[in-house]
Amino acid sequence: MSIVISRRVALALGVAAAGLLALPGQALAQGELNLYSSRHYDTDEALYAEFTKQTGIKINRLEAREDELLQRMKAEGDKSPADVVITVDAGRLYRAQSMDLLQPANSAMLDKLIPAHLREPSGLWFGFSKRARILVVNKARVAPGALSSYEDLADPKWKGKVLIRSSTNVYNQSLVGAMIASQGEEKTEAWAKGVVANFARAPKGGDTDQIKAVAAGEGDIALSNTYYFARLLASSKPEDKEIVSKLAVIFPNQNDRGTHVNISGAGVAKYAPNKANAVKFLEYLASAEAQGYFARGNYEFPVIGGVALHPVIQRWAEFKEDKVNAATFGKNNEAALKLMDRAGWK
C-alpha cells in the first residue's frame, strides 16, 4: 500500500522540486491513479495488477474503512490526491455523493454497459459487482415453501426464530431503504416491528455469525449476503461442510419484485488530479475480464452479461432481482436507520 503526494498538494505546500513529489522509494510516473479503497479482498490485487499491465498506469492505493476514507477526502478538500473511491454498498456511495466528494465520469461506455438500476443517474458512481441479500434457513426446521419473501420475516409464526445483524449494518439499512422505495415508509416500519418481535436474540456479529447460529439451532432463519454463504460452501474445512449441510438458501420475493441486490461500486473523486486515468479505470472495471475477477474471485455477481461465475455460485445464476435504483435505496439509508430505531431494531 502506498500514498502519493500529488503535484497539487505539493505545490500547495510550497514544494517546487519535482523530486520531492513522491514518498521515499517511490518513483514518479506520468501515468498513475490514486485509488482510495475500502474493499478488503485479496483477489482484488490481481484485478489492479492486470489494469497496470494493460495500461501502464501505476495504481497508488490507500485502504481504510469506508467512513475513514470519506472523512479523509472531506478534510483534504480540493487538495485531495484521490482519483477514484471504491467501496461496498450503495449507501456508502450515496454518502460520498451527499458529501460532495464525487464528479460525473461522463463515460458513454459506462452508461451503456452498467444497467441503469446499478448506477447513479448522473454518472457520479457505478456498481461493478452485485451481492444478493438472501435468507438462509435450517432445513430441519423450515419446510420448503414455508417462507418466500422478506415480508414473511414479520409473520408471528417465526417468533424467536429470526437471526440478523444490527440496524447499524449498512447492508440491512439498504435492504430497508429498498423496502421503503417499494412499500412506503408506514408499511416498512410495521414490517420492521414484526421482524424485531421475531428476533431469536439481540442482533450481534456479522453475516457469517448469523449463518453459523442457524446451523447451531439458535434460530431458524438468517439474512446474509450471498458471498458469505458461498465462502462456507467453497471451504474445505470439515466444520464448514458440516454447517452448510444443515442449511438451505432462499432468494426472496421471486414471485413479485425480486430479491434485493446491493453493489460494490466506484466513482471519480471530485478533485481527481488524474481524471482521464480515473475514467479509464472505471471503464476497465466494466470489462468482461475485470468482471470475471469479481465473479470468480469473491463469489460476487457481475453487472454485465456473459461472464462466467464461480462454480460455487453457478447454481444461483438465474434469479429475479429487485430493479429499484441503487441510488434510491442509498438515499433512503438515513430514513431506514431512523425507522429501524423506532421499531426497536438495535
Write the DSSP assignment of 328-345 as a string of letters: HHHHTHHHHHHHHHHTT-
Strand partners, 130: 263, 301
Mind listing the pLDDT tens digit for each residue in 298-312? 899 999 999 999 999
What does the pLDDT average to over 146-171? Answer: 97
> pLDDT exceeding 90 applies to what percent of the chain?
85
Q: Do the Cβ atoms of 126 and 266 come closer than 8 Å?
A: yes
pLDDT for the residue numbered 30: 52
The candidate with the shortest Cα–Cα distance to 218, out of 141, 277, 155, 146, is 141
Interatomic CA distance for residues 237 and 233, integer angstroms = 10
Per-residue pLDDT band for 20 (boundaries 50, 70, 90) equals very low
pLDDT of residue 7: 34
C-alpha closest to that of 226 among 341, 319, 163, 326: 319
Over residues 99-134, the pLDDT tens digits come to 999 999 999 999 999 999 999 999 999 999 999 999
Q: Which residue from 230, 187, 217, 224 is spatially nearest to 317, judged by alpha carbons?
A: 230
Domain 132-259+326-342 class, CATH top level: alpha beta
Domain with CATH 3.40.190.10 in the chain: 7-130+262-310, 132-259+326-342
pTM for the full predicted model: 0.86
Q: Which CATH superfamily is domain 7-130+262-310 in?
A: Periplasmic binding protein-like II (3.40.190.10)
